[in-house]
Amino acid sequence: MRRELLAGLSTFFTVSYLLLLYPNILSAGGLDFGAALTATILTIVCSTLFLALYADFPAILVPGLSVGPFLVYSVILQQGASWQTALGIVFWAGIAIFLLTLFKVRQKILLYLPLSIKTAAIAGIGLFLICVALKDLGFPHQHVFNVPIAIALSGLILFFILHYFQIRSAFLLAILASWLAAFLFGLAPFHGIVALPSSLSPTWFKLNFLLNFEWFGTLLTVVLIALFDTSASLTVLSKLAHKLDDKGHIKQIDKILIPDGLGSVLAGLLGTGTLCFALESSAGIKAGGRHKWTAIIAALSCLIGLFFHPLIASIPSFATTPAILAIGIFMTMEIKHIKWKSITESIPAFIMIFTIPIAFSIYRGFAFGFVSYALLKGLRGEWKDVHPVCWSLAIIFAAHLSWALITHHM
C-alpha cells in the first residue's frame, strides 16, 4: 500500500500542471475560468475513480491537450463556433467513443490503423500545439521581443534542463517559475490563495445538444484525436504496468476503454474537453504503481485544486506556454517511426503532418492524410494492405471533403 501511495502522489505531481494549463486554454475560448477549473477537476476525479474501480488500471484520465487547443483556437476562434457548440461536440464525441468501445469497433481501430498514419497524426498535432503556443505569444504579428516572450522561452529552457535531469515535476516547476518571473515583473495580478470551489453554473448543462451538420467534420476529428491519444498513451502505460499479454495485446482492454468515453460525456455536461490516458501516469507506474490505488490516490489529490482556484487564476496564460511548446516538441519527435523509404507510407504522412499547421486545421490534415494513403495504396496495387477500417475512414473523409467543397464549408 505504501508503494501505491507514493506512486499515486508521483502521478499527481507530474500531471498537476494540467490543473493550471487546461482552464487557461478553455478561458481563451470564452468559458468562465473558475467553472472550467471546477469542471476539469471533477471530470478527472470521477473518471479516474471509475477507471480504478472498474478496470483496476494505475493511470489517471485527464482532458487531452490535443482536443482542447483544437476546439478553442481552431473551432471557436477561427471557425466562429460558440463555446456551447464546442461542448456539444465534446458530449457527442464521448457518446461516439463509448459506442465504438461497446461494439468493439474502437479496439479494431487501435489494432489496424497503419503506424505511419498514427505517428503522422501525433506529429501533426504536435506542430499544431507549437503553432498555438507561438500564436498565443503574438507570433508572427508580434515583432518586439517583450518580457512575456522572454519569460515563456526561459520557462521552456528551464523545462528541458529539468527534464534532462529526470525531474518528474518538470512541467509544473517550469510553469511555477514562469509565474514567479511574471509576478516579479508585475505581469501577474494576485487573486488570493484559498477559497471555496468556483461554481459550475456558468458551464453546467450549457452545451448545445443539437449540432448542425456543418460540425460533423469537427466531431469526427475530435473522435479521431481521442482515438489517437488513447492508442499512443495506453499502449505505453500498459507496457510499463505489465498489462500486455503474450501477443502484445492489452489485457482487459474492453474494461479499460469504457471510462474515458463516459468521462468525455460528463466533460461535455460539466464544461471541459474529452479525456485521454495521461502519459504522465508513467511517473507513478515507474514508482511501482500497478493497481487501482495508484489511480485513486492521484484522483483524490486533484480534489485539493478545487480550493486553490484563486491561486491558479493568478497564473497568466504565457506562463503555461512552455508546457504547450514542450508537449508539441515531444509529439513531433514521433516522425522517427514513419517508414520514410516507402512512398505509400511517407507521402500521406508528410501530407498529414504539414497540412495540419499550414491550414491550422487538424481535421483537414486527417482528411487529406487518410484519403491520400488509401489512394496511393490503391494506385500501386497495394489495396489489400489497407484494412477495411482504414478504407472506411478514407471514404468518410472523401465524402465529407467533397460535400464541404461543393457547399463552401471548408
DSSP 72-119: IIIIITTT---HHHHHHHHHHHHHHHHHHHHTTHHHHHHHHS-HHHHH
Of 41, 14, 52, the closest CA to residue 252 belongs to 52
pLDDT mean across residues, the chain: 87
Amino acid (1-letter code) at residue 95: I
- State the Cα angle at 265 between 124 and 102, rounded to 5°: 85
Q: What is the pLDDT of residue 253?
A: 87
DSSP string of 242-278? T-B-TTSPBTTHHHHHHHHHHHHHHHHHHT-PPEEE-
Q: Supply the pLDDT for residue 408.
A: 52
CA distance 342 to 175: 41
Residue 175 has pLDDT above 60, yes or no: yes
Kindly write down the DSSP assignment for every residue of 371-383, as one continuous string.
Answer: HHHHHHHHHTT-G
End-to-end CA distance of the chain: 54
Q: Which residue has the higher pLDDT, 283 or 147?
A: 147
How would residue 284 be classed by pLDDT, with cut points 50, 70 and 90?
confident
Q: What are phi and psi of 62, to 5 degrees?
A: -135, 160
Highest-scoring range by mean pLDDT, 135-149, 200-214, 243-257: 200-214
Give the CA-trace dihedral at 43, 49, 55, 56, to 10 degrees: 140
pTM over 0.75, yes/no: yes
More confident residue, 274 or 239: 274
- Judge whether residue 50 has pLDDT over 60: yes
Q: Considering only CA atoms, which of 20, 72, 25, 56 is closest in space to residue 41?
A: 20
Q: Is the pLDDT of residue 232 over 70?
A: no
Is pLDDT above 80 for 249?
no
pLDDT exceeds cutoff 70 at 228:
yes
Point out the least confidently predicted range of 23-32, 119-128, 149-158, 339-348: 119-128
pLDDT, position 142: 58
What Å distances lie between residue 223 and 66, 376, 379, CA to CA? Answer: 11, 25, 29
**pLDDT 10s digits, 136-162:** 787 766 566 788 999 999 999 999 999
Residue 227 has a pLDDT of 81
**pLDDT-derived band of residue 248, with 50, 70 and 90 as boundaries?**
low
Give strand pairing partners of 244: 250
Phi, psi (5° rounding) for residue 211? -100, 140
What does the buried/exposed string (b/e) look like for 265-277 if buried means 16 or more CB atoms within 10 Å of the residue's CB?
bbbbbbbbbbbbb
State the burial class of residue 148 (Cβ atoms within 10 Å of its Cβ: 0-12, 13-18, 19+).
buried
Name the least confident of 118-127, 142-151, 209-218: 142-151
Per-domain boundaries in the chain: 2-405
Name the least confident of 44-58, 238-252, 339-353. 238-252
Please report the pLDDT score of residue 407 as a whole number. Answer: 59
Q: What pLDDT does residue 155 have?
A: 93
What was the pLDDT predicted at 404? 67
Burial class from Cβ neighbours inside 10 Å (0-12, 13-18, 19+) for residue 243 reads: buried
Q: Which amino acid appears at position 389 of this protein?
A: V
Does 236 or 114 have the greater pLDDT score? 114
Mean pLDDT highest for which of 41-55, 280-294, 312-326? 41-55
* pLDDT at residue 153, as a whole number: 92
How confident is the model over 79-94, as a mean pLDDT?
Answer: 95
Mean per-residue pLDDT, 25-41: 94
Q: What pLDDT is recorded for position 82?
A: 95
